[in-house]
Structure 1
Amino acid sequence: MKAFSLSEEQIACVIGAAAADELARRFNRHADFLTIAAWTQDAPLGRGGLALDEDEKVACARRAASLFGLDEDYLSAVSAEKIADWARELTVAVRHELKSFSFKPAARIDGDVAHAHGADAIYQDAAAAANVLAGRRRLLSFVAPHSLLGLELSLLTPNLLGIEAIDARRMTPDELSSNLLFGDVLVATPTLWRYMMQEGLRAPDNSLAVSFGEPMTPELAVEMRTSGFGVLREMYGSTETGLIAWRDNPGEAFVLFDHWRRAGDNLLRLCPDGEEREVDAMDLLAWSGERSFTLSGRRDGAVQIGAVNVFPDAVAETLRNHPHIEDCRIAVGRRSDGAARLIAHIVLAPKTPPNERTARDIDVWCRVNLRQQERPQIYNFEIETGAEA
């Protein structure tokens, strides 16, 4: 069925997004949002495009193949000059061999471990999302499509609904305001929604806003409704589990999709093949009924910043490797708009002055050794006596 397929153009977009993630993970190469959004079919793999050297090209080809459940060396014999060359090969394979997908979590605590999901389970998730997004005319996405929820919501769901899927990552808020039409749905993370609200995004009547990846605050929800989005849908799930539940307002409980059941304090997935599989939720769930719950914090100590799971203890451990830092503790604070931010409480090494130059030196070091979401936004220095400076 056409609804259960991905076009070559869509696969190229997935490849480009996955390549950007792989370059950041393995080679500490970071590109800006608009640059990554342009890594589509016609983007060269060399000069004028992704600018990959041989090691980077091999790593990106392996990531692309494994994402679609293929052997990581599937593309090794393909002579590729553009993303389109890889996309063409993967499109044929996906039509005949697609049995699973493999996604890497945004958090780096698991190293390079990927989580595999059967293709039927991924389409089951997308069908569930389509049920709560039915009636829309177009779907625009501000989210990269290489993650589990990004792929399901940005590409598979509109395919199942038979509506146009538009990559909005290359649009400014002004361009989005001009392009949004009556009946559209726009997908973004709360961090991106905050940015769009700050930039004055306006939506026409009967527009639907979808968010996922980090908690939606009541204050942000009010801003989004004021900007014209009459309906909100917040999705809950993870790379490890798949898509689990949804709700309309931050103050409400999440409601399980039909292929999930409560199993005591945990979850039971009803798989498409009839199997029932118990799943550990990534968060502590406070049940208010057999099909509804609220979140009571992460089981693993992660906090969500920019839709990325960040582990404060791991960030602190990394910072302790800096020659000016003797000890470090990471706290989580909230900005005035409700977004989480990291605060580093640092005990400096002996004879290290707690001044602006030291702060700049540590901040530059963090830009090399930590991802953007892991970098502290505030540094509190302590001198040897323990008093903050």
Structure 2
Amino acid sequence: MKAFSLDEDQIARVVGAAAADELSRRFNRHADFLTIASWTQNTPLGRGGLALDEAEKDACARRAATFFGLKADYLSARPAEKIADWAHELAAALRARLDAFSFKPAARGDGDVAFTHRADAIYQDAAAAANVLAGRRRLLSFVAPHSLLGFELSVLTPNLLGVEAVDARGMTPDELSKNLLFGDVLVATPTLWRYMMQEELQAPDNSLAVSFGEPMTPELAVEMRKSGFGVLREMYGSTETGLIAWRDNPGEAFILFDHWRRDGDDLIRLCPDGEARHVDAMDLLAWSGERSFTLSGRRDGAVQIGAVNVFPDAVAETLRAHPHILDCRIVVGRRSDGAARLIANIVLSEKTPPNERTARDIDVWCRVNLRQQERPQIYNFEIETGA
């Protein structure tokens, strides 16, 4: 089935994005957004490219293989100098067999946990997304393709629709404004949409905006419509569950895709092989009918910042390891545009002054020990005065 086949360029984009994520998780190596977007088939794995040492190269090779349901050591014995070499080997393997995909959730607390899904279930999700995005001329994606929803929406869905897929991650908002055409669909997370709205992205008539990964706020939706996007689609799902539902406006209820059913407070997935599988949603669902619901907060206490699940208690525990911090409590605030942000309420040691220098010192420490989305944006200081 050609619609479900992956070419080497698509595989290479996934490999590059997955490698960036693996380097961040395992080796605390962080590349900027535009650098990662520039990694193509021709990018070297060593000097002048990803600059991988042997340990990093092995970790990235294992991540690439397991993403496509292969044994972790599948690429280990195969010589490779460029991303294209891995993509070529993977493409050959996938032509013979592709029956699973494996995705890691975007949360530091999950360590090396990955969730494996049957390939037919991932294709089922992509087909559902294609049904609500039909009639578009091109699909442009501003998201990395290694996450479950990123892969389904930016790679598989345009394949199913038979439309051109454009990797827009390397474009500036000004370049996007010039490249968007009548009838296009652009995929991004709300954090990226806020950035594009701040940079005054303009869209032509009949453009469709797709978001996922964190809640869409009414304020952001208004700005997106003002910029020219006549239609919005917000997708709901997770790495653990797959794609579940969609809606047009933040104030509306989500609507289940056809392969989902309500099961009391939870869900039943109707799998392609005929199995009806019970699934625990990652959020508390407030049902307004048999096929519609709104979200009532995460079950696990996570908050979504920049499409990444962040655990405030875990962030506070990490901050308590700083030599000048006796105690810390993390709360979630909202910026004027509705975006979530972390606020750190910190009790400093008795001899540590609550000044700008202390704040800078803690911020530098956070950049080493926390991922970007986990870093507090506001520090409130108290001083421990002793007994």
The alignment's TM-score, normalised by the length of structure 1, stands at 0.99
* Structure 1 outlier segments of 4+, above 6 Å: none
Aligned to 2:314: 314
**Cα deviations across residues 25-69 of structure 1 (Å, max 9, x unaligned)?**
000000000100011100000111000011000000000000001
Aligned to 2:211: 211
How far off is 1:384 after superposition?
1.7
Aligned to 2:225: 225
Aligned to 1:192: 192
Counterparts of 1:95 and 1:264 in 2: how far apart (Å)?
Answer: 41
How far off is 1:192 after superposition?
0.2
Counterparts of 1:233 and 1:5 in 2: how far apart (Å)?
Answer: 26
Question: Aligned pairs, how many?
Answer: 386
The alignment's TM-score, normalised by the length of structure 2, stands at 0.99
SS of match in other structure, 1:109: helix
How far off is 1:354 after superposition?
1.1
What is the identity, as a one-letter code, of the residue corresponding to 2:188? Answer: A
Aligned to 1:32: 32
CA contact (8 A) 2:108 2:371 kept: no
**Cα deviations across residues 129-187 of structure 1 (Å, max 9, x unaligned)?**
00000000000000000000000000000000000000000000010000000000000
Q: Which runs of 5+ in 1 are unaligned?
A: none
Q: Which runs of 5+ in 2 are unaligned?
A: none
Counterparts of 1:98 and 1:10 in 2: how far apart (Å)?
Answer: 15
Aligned to 1:301: 301
Matched, 1:145 2:145: yes
Matched, 1:353 2:353: yes
What is the identity, as a one-letter code, of the residue corresponding to 1:277? Answer: R
Matched, 1:338 2:338: yes
Q: Percent identity?
A: 87
Counterparts of 1:160 and 1:54 in 2: how far apart (Å)?
Answer: 38
Aligned to 1:271: 271
Q: Which moved more, 1:344-353 or 1:334-343?
A: 344-353
**Cα deviations across residues 211-248 of structure 1 (Å, max 9, x unaligned)?**
00000000100100010000000000000000000000
**Cα deviations across residues 254-279 of structure 1 (Å, max 9, x unaligned)?**
00000000000000000000001000
Counterparts of 2:94 and 2:27 in 1: how far apart (Å)?
Answer: 28
Aligned to 1:10: 10
Aligned to 1:379: 379
Aligned to 2:180: 180
**Cα deviations across residues 269-316 of structure 1 (Å, max 9, x unaligned)?**
000000010000000000000000000000000000000000000000
Counterparts of 1:25 and 1:4 in 2: how far apart (Å)?
Answer: 30
How far off is 1:385 after superposition?
4.4
Aligned to 1:51: 51
Counterparts of 1:384 and 1:30 in 2: how far apart (Å)?
Answer: 35
**Cα deviations across residues 331-359 of structure 1 (Å, max 9, x unaligned)?**
00000110000000001122111111111
Counterparts of 1:274 and 1:33 in 2: how far apart (Å)?
Answer: 41
Aligned to 2:95: 95
